[in-house]
Amino acid sequence: MVSDSDVSEKAPLCDQVPRELGEYRASIDNLDAALVHLLAERFRVTRKVGELKRQEALPPADEGREERQLLRLKEIATTAGLDPTVVDLIFPALMSEVRRRHQELRGDGPRPL
């Protein structure tokens, strides 16, 4: 049999889990909003790059640069305590989308140099 005192002692412990989870989720939501704002700025800049490349008939991608970017970001990830494989989850997809948009900006496909 559970006495009233047992219930009243347990209640704060039961509340603690959703409160802790709620606080973590508030942090995740803030970080995600910040991520979206940074992505918005990144696409603003890559659009300018795309326009410059179209004007100057430069190729839509520089494979060497993408490889260097990924290597550098994996180093930054490791220093920041983030598993560097997370970089592969995000950045190749971003870079591929940017490349697609650069191609779109200059017409159906990349023009010959």
CB of 75 to its own copies, least distance (A): 9
Of 4 and 80, CB closest to its own copies: 80
Binding stretches for its own copies (CB under 8 A): 17, 20-21, 24-25, 27-29, 31-46, 48-49, 52-53, 56, 58, 65, 69, 72-73, 76-77, 80-83, 86-87, 89-91, 93-94, 97
Residues belonging to the chain: 113
In this structure, are residues 85 and 75 in contact, taking their beta carbons and an 8 Å threshold?
Answer: no
How far, in Å, CA of 98 to CA of 51, rounded? 12
Of 11 and 82, CB closest to its own copies: 82
What residues contact residue 52 under an 8 Å CB cut-off, 6+ apart? 58
How far, in Å, CA of 87 to CA of 63, rounded? 17
CB of 94 to its own copies, least distance (A): 7
Q: Kindly report the CA angle at 48 between 46 and 50, in degrees rounded to 5? A: 70
CB of 6 to its own copies, least distance (A): 19
Of 9 and 20, CB closest to its own copies: 20
